Amino acid sequence: MDILVTGGAGFIGSNFVRFLLNERNDSVTTLDALTYAGSRDNLDGVLDNPNHEFVEGDIRDRELVNELVADVDVVVNFAAESHVDRSINGAEPFVSTNVQGTQTLLDASLEADIDRFLQISTDEVYGEIHEGLFTEDDPLNPRNPYSATKAGADLLVQSYRETHDLPVLITRTCNNFGPRQHPEKLIPKFIKRAAEGETLPVYGDGSNVREWIYVEDNCTALDTVLREGEIGEVYNIGSGVELSNLETTEKILEAVGGSSDQIEFVEDRAGHDQRYAIDATKTKELGWEPEWSFEDGLEACVDYYLETDQ
């Protein structure tokens, strides 16, 4: 397949581009605006791959997007503003990239008559859940500006299916961790700080629960949905590994050899969702299973973040 991967110089996108080039026979064009969150370094080792072209550009640039989408069969849209704390301080770039950028890609995909459009979404669009698991049929109830813009994009994508018959798929994955994540995010930040003997700032009382998936498992799930998923459907991708933020912090301290004295409870994030947890049965029915334990993934992260300058 000829695949356009947007946001492919970011955390998950760069892991997915690497997966497509190393494990599949695809031709990949990566489109990324290289915001503060993206970096060519994330594509080290695959920039010169003859089946890969890197284009620095914006998904809101209609002319460029039309040109690139015209040459591919498939669009996979990772490009987004992705940090919840930043969306609380200023939502404008989130609305612009996450909603308007998605619309530009959808319009170009219609014009080019592509085979598949995969929208990369998040479990955060469902909002928080105190008991049980969200399934794909649950209503969207985003509670922070980031997740609201992701939910807006999901609804736009679904509307292009209903009104224009565009062949779309949506995935909603839980929290990812692994190599090449921006150091502003919890796991890379805490690994570095733990190793340097600094404090680890935990929001509130640390009881907020997140489900964690190793990024390589997310990549195999995304690939499965892309190839085997039913057009028009939404697929949850999760590992079943649920940890409170305090438990995650303790595991990081243990893996790095830090001390629990480094934990510092700080004022809670506004609108902090208590728990996210999703039912991934529908994706597993396509033949996918996660393979990484949290502990093995964390060990790989510790090696990566303490060996690189990231």
Residue numbers annotated as active site = 123-124, 146
Q: In what order do the strands lie in the sheet with 175-177?
A: 175-177, 209-214, 242-244
Around 208, how many Cα atoms within 13 Å sit in the side-chain half-sphere? 18
Comparing CB distances to ligand NAD, the nearer of 121 and 262 is 121
Query: Contact 237/283 with Cβ under 8 angstroms?
Result: yes
> Does 32 help bind ligand NAD (rule: CB under 6 A)?
yes
Q: Cα 62 from chain centroid? A: 23
Work out which of 3, 5, 11, 28 binds ligand NAD, going by CB under 6 A: 11
Total site size for ligand NAD, rule CB under 6 A:
30
| Pairing status of strand 2-6 against strand 27-32 | parallel
217 binds ligand NAD (CB under 6 A): no
Taking phi first (over 0 means left), then psi (-120 to 50 degrees means alpha), and beta for anything else, what does residue 180 get?
left
Half-sphere exposure of 303 (CA within 13 A, CB side): 6
CB of 103 to ligand NAD, least distance (A): 12
Q: How far is the CB of 197 from ligand NAD (least distance, A)?
A: 27
β partners of residue 273: none
Which residue number is nearest to ligand NAD in terms of Cβ? 10
Of 156-164, 168-176, 277-285, 298-306, the window that binds ligand NAD (rule: CB under 6 A) is: 168-176
Residues in region 120-149 near ligand NAD by CB under 6 A: 120, 122
Q: Binding of ligand NAD at residue 262 (CB under 6 A)?
A: no
Least separation in angstroms between residue 80's CB and ligand NAD is 3
Q: Is the separation of the CB atoms in 29 and 53 below 8 Å?
A: yes
**Nearer of residues 12 and 262 to ligand NAD, judged by Cβ:** 12
Query: Which one of 58, 154, 216, 217 is in contact with ligand NAD (CB under 6 A)?
Result: 58
The contacts of residue 202 (CB under 8 Å, 6+ apart) are 245, 246, 249, 263, 264, 265, 266
To ligand NAD, the closest distance from the beta carbon of 289 in angstroms equals 19
Determine if 101 is a binding residue for ligand NAD (CB under 6 A): yes
